[in-house]
Chains A and B, each alone.
Chain A
Amino acid sequence: MNNIYSVISNEKIAYKTYKMILYGDTSKIKAPGQFINIKIDNEKTFLRRPISICDYDSKTITIIYKVFGEGTKILSTKKMFDDLDILGPLGNGFAINKKAKKQMIIGGGVGIPPLYSVAKKLHEENIEFDVVLGYNSKVDVFFEGMFRALGANVYVTTMDGSCGYKGNVLNVIRSKNLYFDYYYACGPRKMLHALVKEDYTGQLSFEERMGCGFGACMGCSHPTTDDSYKRICKEGPVLESFEVVI
């Protein structure tokens, strides 16, 4: 579970947004939406950085991350053949709903990457789905074409209207009257909570500051509607919409 992975590539694909391909063991990955916890060898970044798996095959893992702070800044300087100490795969990931007829992928910003493997699975299962992707601005847009290549209708929206529609993902869903009977979402907390308040059913992947990433420190516990809790790193990051406490 604790392994060294080699960087194959690390390229900028949008504003402060990087795509990194890692070479190493992928045999334990069991669902889209699981994450890896990366040790960034520097005293300033004492804790590992949890980053969702965007895509994987038998030998590589693709991650997409945005440079927000010290850790991701250092990560962005990694080059081909650099080694990274990685713990993972971690977390539960998304469970594909094989019953719902028309499904929707709803992603916001750097919440979009784990949804790409969901889209691939839906495509493999011949399940009909649309995609709504929200970004701040045109310069932030990435992976739109990757989703289109899977045959889905992709609706891009930006907060400033510089690309696609103007507004957030819910604005698009409402204004275009998009119909779906199940969804998969990942994005900013506000977006996820707004979705939960709507009358849809689905699964949402949450982000939280983590100590360990494997259930030991209890740092990332979220209360659930059954008066219990789930650790975002262990029983999460994906929660069912009916479990989420707003």
Chain B
Amino acid sequence: MKLNVELPGMKLDNPIIPASGTFGFGYEFSEFYDINILGTLSFKGTTLEERFGNKTPRIAESTSGMLNAIGLQNPGVDAVISNELVKLKKVFNKKVIANIGGSYEEDYIEAVKRISKSDIVGAIELNISCPNVKEGGLLFGTNKESAAKLTRLIREVTDLPLYVKLSPNVTNIKEIALAVEEAGADAISMINTLVGMRIDLKTGKPVLANTYGGFSGPAIKPVALKMVHEVYSVVNIPIIGMGGIMNAYDVIEMMYAGASAVQVGTANLIDPYACKKIIEDLPRVMKELNINDLKEIVGRAHL
């Protein structure tokens, strides 16, 4: 039974990748299990400068999902390289995906330049879809010209494979996917969270201090599947699919839609062992569904 898959610049033992923002810098999870079983991981969204993020409360929940409005809290790219990735390297012997966020083109460029020198980084995941920062982030991801321009600028400053993480909060995601492909992206990861809110019934005020946040979890899976399916039909680069993946069946479904690998996000927060359980359960589910090689099922829903 073959679980291995390939992404530009990365050969993975299996398609399971913890999603950025739900897995810290990886080493935190090594107290739960040996994280070397993962395909790879995408670490916490990193920006040029240190960021505290938004005010709390920055977590809310909803039926079959949750909202977050963290606002890219991270210690800044230099501290990530000198502290976090050093700790990660001690417990993880594979290359990782560096998720990079920013507010302006210049800080994306500088952060990517610096992180690209780290030998544990195997690919850049350009986050142009964070809904929780005031400047930049999502603004780059909701317009095809600015998405393409940023992708092009980043393409020039790194030799690493470049994955661009797209937002679902757009009118036409195919257009944006095509624009970043044309601009030099090697893969697309999708989808980031859907923008949403909750209101406290007693106070009548928004639950999140930031008012709006990113909605994730199993509730968004059908939206993610549809968008991956759509984008798969127009681009020629691989897709890393995510959005509400909770178990091995969800992984197969996402790959059927067109994903070459899958990111698991919110599930890690509910159950720190989620990725381990999914990886261990995949062979059983493949057998049940008569799948011998995961690479062969990518995009099956299009046949």
Which A residues are closer than 8 A to B by beta carbons? 1-2, 39, 43-48, 87, 208-212, 214-223, 229
- List of B residues within 8 angstroms of A218 by Cβ: 21, 24, 44, 53, 70, 73
Nearest A residue (CB) for B58? A219
* CB-based closest 6 A-B pairs: A219-B59, A212-B269, A209-B57, A209-B59, A218-B73, A47-B61
Asked if B63 and A212 make an inter-chain contact with CB atoms under 8 angstroms apart, the answer reads: no
Set of chain A residues within 8 Å of B73, measured between Cβ atoms: 218, 221, 229
Q: Which residues of A contact B29 (CB under 8 A)?
A: 216
Q: Determine whether the beta carbon of B59 is less than 8 Å from that of A46.
A: no
| A48 touches which of B63, B68, B207, B270 (Cβ 8 Å) | B270
Q: Are A209 and B63 in contact (CB under 8 A)?
A: no
Given known A-B contacts A47-B61, A208-B57, A229-B52, A219 and B270 have beta carbons under 8 A apart: no
Check if B233 is an interface residue, CB within 8 A of chain A.
no
User: Which residues 20-67 in B have Cβ within 8 Å of A in the complex?
Assistant: 21-24, 28-29, 31-32, 44, 52-53, 56-66
Q: Is B104's beta carbon under 8 Å from chain A?
A: no
- Write out the residue numbers on chain A whose beta carbons fall within 8 Å of the beta carbon of B272: 1-2, 87, 212, 214, 216
A43 and B58 form a contact (CB under 8 A): no
* Contact A215 B57, beta carbon cutoff 8 Å: no
Min CB distance A83 to B, Å, is 15
Asked whether A209 and B270 contact (CB < 8 A) given A46-B217, A219-B68, the answer is: no
> How far, in Å, is B128 (CB) from chain A's closest CB?
20
Q: A118 CA to B162 CA in the complex, in Å?
A: 52
- Nearest B-chain residue to A206, judged by Cβ: B56
**A45 and B64 contacting across the interface, CB-CB below 8 Å:** no
| A151, chain B: closest CB distance, angstroms | 38
Given contacts A209-B60, A211-B269, contact A216 B28 (CB under 8 A): yes
A218→B21 CA distance, assembly (Å): 8
Does B273 contact A2, Cβ atoms closer than 8 Å?
yes
Q: Judging by beta carbons under 8 Å apart, are A221 and B59 in contact?
A: no
Contacts of A43 in B (CB 8 A): 63-64
* Inter-subunit contact B52/A212 (CB<8 Å): no
Tell me if A's interface is mostly helix, strand, loop or mixed: loop
A217 close to B21 (CB less than 8 A): yes
Q: Tell me the complex Cα distance, A229–B58, Å.
A: 15
Given A217-B22, A219-B58, check contact A211 B53 (CB 8 Å).
no
Give the CA-CA distance A45 to B66 in the complex, in Å. Answer: 10
Distance in Å: Cβ of B60 to nearest Cβ of chain A = 7
B271 interface residue (CB < 8 Å to A): yes
* A168 → B minimal CB distance (Å): 21
Q: Which residue of A lies closest to B268 (CB)?
A: A216
Chain B residue nearest to A216 (CB atoms) is B24
Q: Are A46 and B63 in contact (CB under 8 A)?
A: yes
CA distance A211 to B65 in the complex (A): 11
A229 to B53, CA, bound (A): 11
Q: How far is the CA of A39 from the CA of B269 in the complex (A)?
A: 11
Residue from A39, A211, A214, A222 having most chain B Cβ neighbours under 10 A: A211
Residues of A with C-beta under 8 A to B56: 208-209, 219-222
Q: Note all chain B residues with C-beta closer than 8 A to A47.
A: 59, 61, 66, 269-270
Q: How far in angstroms is the closest Cβ of chain B from A207?
A: 10
In the complex the two chains form, what is the Cα distance from A212 to B62 in whole Å? Answer: 15
The answer to whether B217 and A217 touch across the interface, beta carbons within 8 angstroms, is no
A211-B52 in contact (CB<8A): no
CA distance A216 to B217 in the complex (A): 16
B70 lies within 8 A of A219 (CB): yes
If A47-B59, A47-B270 are given as contacts, then 4 extra A-B residue pairs at C-beta distance below 8 Å, sorted by A number, are A43-B64, A215-B28, A217-B59, A221-B73
Contacts of A1 in B (CB 8 A): 31-32, 272
Instruction: Name the CB-closest residue of A to B265.
Output: A217
- Nearest chain B CB to A217 CB, angstrom units: 5
Give min CB distance, B244 to chain A, whole Å.
11
Task: Assess whether A46 is in contact with B22, with CB atoms less than 8 Å apart.
Answer: no
Bound complex: CA of A39 vs CA of B270, how far in Å? 8
Given contacts A214-B28, A214-B272, A216-B23, contact A46 B58 (CB under 8 A): no
- Residue of A at shortest CB range from B71? A218
Chain B residues 154-173 with CB under 8 Å of chain A are none
Contact B53 A221 (CB under 8 A): yes
Considering the chains assembled together, what is the distance between the CA atoms of A56 and B65 in angstroms?
32
Q: Which of B22, B52, B61, B68 has the most CB of A within 10 A?
A: B61
State whether B52 touches A221 (Cβ < 8 A): yes
B24 lies within 8 A of A46 (CB): no
Could you tell me the distance in whole angstroms from the C-beta of B72 to the nearest C-beta in chain A? 9
Residues of B within 8 A of A211 (CB): 59, 66, 68, 269
Q: Is the CB of A46 within 8 A of B65?
A: yes
By beta carbon, the residue of chain A nearest B208 is A209
- Inter-chain contacts of A87 with B (CB < 8 A): 272
- Pick the most buried of A1, A45, A221: most chain B CB atoms within 10 A of its CB: A221
Q: Which A residues are CB-close (under 8 A) to B52?
A: 221, 223, 229
